[in-house]
Structure 1
Amino acid sequence: MRGLLLRLSALDSDAASAVRVISFFDVLVAQHVGLERLVASTAQLAECPAGLSVPETGVWLRMDANGTSLAAAPPPALSREVDGGRVWLERGGDPLPLDEIVLERFAIAAAVLLGETRAKLSGLDDPALVELAISASAGDAERSRALHLLGFSPLTPIRVLAVLDGPLPDPPGPQAAIGSLHAVLSPADATVPTGHPIGVGPVQPAMRAPQSWRAATVAARFTAPGVIDSIEWDDLGALGPIAQQLHTSDIRAIPDVQALDRLAAEPGGQDTLDVLTAVVATDSVRKAAALVHRHHSSIAPRLARAESGLGFAVDTPIGRFRLALALSLRRLRDSAG
């Protein structure tokens, strides 16, 4: 059926062509396809982006001609009302002769399938809806409706937070336990809570919550409870994508990480690592000492012993970089699981 509408319109819009379009949508309804399949099939038929929006229930879908989900406000388009919302085609240039009948049958099919799916999310509480919103396996129709029930529009800019020691007592948005983490859907302009190890995902339209959540879980692995609380994915730069590719065995073989492991195994080793973490998180020994609640005079001899074990000075630009990278990789390794 791909490209059927363009081929039929290139001939004419006679009754036989219209019947084939009607049959196309009748088959989709008879198969009880999901709303995502309906929108994707319409976009493929018309060879232009298509969409479906029902504000009352939160359903919002937009697909291109390749069936790829789009998460951006659509341009002005040919549209038809349907069941409290509308369907549309984003045809560049003049409409084709069969566009009107496509919109009509698209709207009819959407009304039927909306009726079949209207009750699917009834009875779910906020945590279940949050889990659905960030699930990469959920369909766009389910996600948009879950977001609606949580108070977000599909295009609302949000950041997903991955909290290591959740739940948060006063979260900036709805939260749910996801494995050993807690996920929080936070408006983009909300303040990230302090005093908790939190990975902060990048700002995305709410429909892209799974991408923000995945990035947040990586960022959370670079936190150092009590020393470095929140880490933003955007601040990781190249380290974030690299972290998604590294295996723990690769990290374990890095000499600078091995040197940190030896320091950690010494008496007071964790305290030494906390001091080193504070050194790279601040710009002076005094600030580092304050961060770990030590007097600055006690930091210098500990740093000297640490530098001896590491084999490089930590007060030079390259030394600070090596130390920051080694500490980050070690935290990444230890948080794998």
Structure 2
Amino acid sequence: MKGLLLRLSGLDADAENAVRVIGFFDRLITDRASLDVLVRSTAQLAGCGAGVHAPAQGLALRAEPDAGVTASGRVPAGAAVRRLEGGVVVWVCREGPPTPLDDILLERFAIATAVLLEHTSVPLPALGDPALVELVLSEGIGTAERSRALHLLGLGTTARLRVLAATGADLPGRSAAFGDVRAVLTADGPGTAPPGARIGVGPEVPALDLARSWQAARTALRFTADAEPVVWSDRLGSLAALAGRLTPADLAEFPDIQALDRLAEEPHGDDILAALTALCATGSARKAAAVLHRHHSTMPARLARAGSVLGFDVDSPTGRLRLHLALMLRRLRDAGPSEVDTAPNG
């Protein structure tokens, strides 16, 4: 501190601005700001890139003045740095010459990082895998906390992973339960579902983006059915967008869904709906019969009955498209809002 005061006294006209810099970082410390906020605020104050690199804790954060915080595994060449204990480095990287206040800014950035890093590093090591998985999937935490949780799980921030949303089975992998739905982190797809299980498959993303994959996996899970227990979010297309815009009450008003409900209430209605689902999955009545282990001669009557109730030819190309849309939206209606969609973490 004595050295800092000596430098302040030598700044003359800039002394007032230097005091403001100190107060700026002191407020961040007092408010116990997150490391994300600290790095972003430093970049905005400096008007250039700024970052924290703490490899032992799985942290590598950077921000630009006009952008959010991202993960970055290296300190840029030519950056001005301060080194802290434990291999932690803070830096600012300016394209032009340094300003008179850069030295003070960097020092206060280092002090604030040391204080806030201590605050944020206490709880996580005591957590088990499920709690860490919950942190990784939460939409309400910053890049710093998510990076550290991934580090404690033994995962890199740039690893390519996806999330499975599963019910009715305990799948292998790092996982956490959200009500009846289990989130599973994996590098691969699930293959086939175990008996009685349903699985929504999220897209493959960088590990820091797993919250997005988890959200998509939950949406895909709503489209699953006994006849189609595994649904990949990547393959839903526009259906995924409809899931967030149509309520069960909205879907219940669709005439084609109402017609499917009438079919389901008829004798052998479940068999007819199974035949329609197989028809959409295979593209032909003969292949659908094979999937259902029925003789192909039984299919025409089922399809004719379905067509008479629905009001269109279900075995034509346009009819199968319309039928498939109605079947998928009926699943969405029957699934209702996912239990985890209303959970605090998103």
* Residue 260 of structure 1: aligned partner: 260
Query: What do the CA deviations read for 1:103-133 (whole angstroms, capped 9, x no partner)?
Result: 3321221112112222211221111111111
Q: 1:115 to 1:273 in 2, by over 3 A?
A: same
Amino acid of the structure 1 residue aligned with 2:206: P
State the distance in 1 between where 2:152 and 2:283 align. Answer: 45
Equivalent residues in 2 for 1:98-177 (5 A)? 98-168=101-171, 171=172, 173-177=173-177
SS in 1 for 2:125: coil
Query: What do the CA deviations read for 1:220-251 (whole angstroms, capped 9, x no partner)?
Result: 111122x2232222211122112211111111
- Asked if the contact 2:29/2:115 (under 8 Å) is kept, the reply is yes
Query: What is the aligned residue count?
Result: 320
Q: 1:272 to 1:36 in 2, by over 3 A?
A: same
TM-score normalised over the length of structure 2: 0.84
- Superposition deviation, residue 212 in structure 1: 1.2
- Asked if the contact 2:165/2:183 (under 8 Å) is kept, the reply is yes
- Asked if the contact 1:60/1:140 (under 8 Å) is kept, the reply is no
Amino acid of the structure 2 residue aligned with 1:112: V
Structure 1 unmatched runs, 5+: 1-10
The alignment yields a C-alpha RMSD, in angstroms, of: 2.5
* Residue 5 of structure 2: aligned partner: none
* Residue 199 of structure 1: aligned partner: 200
State the distance in 1 between where 2:313 and 2:185 align. Answer: 42
- Superposition deviation, residue 336 in structure 1: 0.8
- Asked if the contact 1:43/1:50 (under 8 Å) is kept, the reply is yes
Equivalent residues in 2 for 1:186-335 (5 A)? 186-187=186-187, 190-195=188-193, 196-225=197-226, 227-335=227-335
State the distance in 1 between where 2:321 and 2:315 align. Answer: 10
State the distance in 1 between where 2:238 and 2:220 align. Answer: 12
- Superposition deviation, residue 257 in structure 1: 0.6
- Superposition deviation, residue 49 in structure 1: 4.1
TM-score normalised over the length of structure 1: 0.86
- Asked if the contact 1:223/1:230 (under 8 Å) is kept, the reply is yes
Q: 1:12 to 1:200 in 2, by over 3 A?
A: farther
Q: 1:67 to 1:265 in 2, by over 3 A?
A: same
- Asked if the contact 2:306/2:314 (under 8 Å) is kept, the reply is no
After TM superposition, the structure 1 stretch with the greater mean CA deviation from structure 2, 17-26 or 103-112, is 17-26
After TM superposition, the structure 1 stretch with the greater mean CA deviation from structure 2, 78-87 or 266-275, is 78-87
State the distance in 2 between where 1:291 and 1:63 align. Answer: 54
After TM superposition, the structure 1 stretch with the greater mean CA deviation from structure 2, 269-278 or 327-336, is 269-278
Amino acid of the structure 1 residue aligned with 2:218: T
Amino acid of the structure 2 residue aligned with 1:174: R
State the distance in 2 between where 1:203 and 1:47 align. Answer: 34
Does residue 81 (structure 1) correspond to residue 83 (structure 2)? The answer is yes
SS in 1 for 2:231: strand
Q: 1:96 to 1:265 in 2, by over 3 A?
A: farther
Structure 2 unmatched runs, 5+: 1-10, 338-346
SS in 2 for 1:36: helix
Q: Greater Rg, structure 1 or structure 2?
A: 2
Q: 1:236 to 1:14 in 2, by over 3 A?
A: same
Query: What do the CA deviations read for 1:272-303 (whole angstroms, capped 9, x no partner)?
Result: 21221111111322332233333323223212
Q: 1:143 to 1:266 in 2, by over 3 A?
A: same
State the distance in 1 between where 2:181 and 2:47 align. Answer: 42
- Superposition deviation, residue 31 in structure 1: 3.2
* Residue 35 of structure 1: aligned partner: 35
* Residue 8 of structure 1: aligned partner: none
State the distance in 2 between where 1:230 and 1:244 align. Answer: 20
- Asked if the contact 1:282/1:288 (under 8 Å) is kept, the reply is yes
State the distance in 1 between where 2:239 and 2:48 align. Answer: 38
Q: Aligned to 1:94, which of 96, 110, 128?
A: 96
